Amino acid sequence: LQYITQILFLLLLFWYLCILMFMKWISYSALSQDPAYGTSCAPSVLIIFINMMLMKATEAKEPCLSFMYPGQEALQKTFLAFAFLCIPVMLFGKPVYKMLADRKRKKYQQGVESGDTTEVAEHEGE
């Protein structure tokens, strides 16, 4: 469980940052006929990432665009929400799992020590 949330966290945040870098290299060029996709309008990926974390957008001057692609703001908020949901699982997942496993083990040991043969028989049948 903890491994899955760590991978999800890394993919949602840092792979997205890498994808933005490639999108910038591909989309913005000195050869572009559209001034919005010229080199003077190429956004800073670092600033985009920081703004994503702060949940704000920067105003772009004409003819530049505020976002690199349509739906970028909604996608970034979704990624950020999932990343924030991963944090408690990464922090508390393993300790809670160990605590529950210890309780189950102690309950089983108490059943064996008290002579509760029904619980012992159930565990031997597994």
Residue-level pLDDT at 88: 92
State in Å, rounded, how far the first CA of the chain is from the last one: 24
Residue-level pLDDT at 29: 87
Which percentage of the chain shows pLDDT scores above 70?
87
pTM: 0.71
For the segment 11-55, what is each residue's pLDDT rounded down to a tens digit?
989 999 999 999 999 989 888 888 888 888 888 899 999 999 998
Secondary structure of the chain as H, E, C letters: CHHHHHHHHHHHHHHHHHHHHHHHHHHCCCCCCCHHHCHHHCCCHHHHHHHHHHCCCCCCCCCCCCCCCCCHHHHHHHHHHHHHHHHHHHHHHHHHHHHHHHHHHHHHHHHHHCCCHHHHHHHHHC
Which percentage of the chain shows pLDDT scores above 90?
39
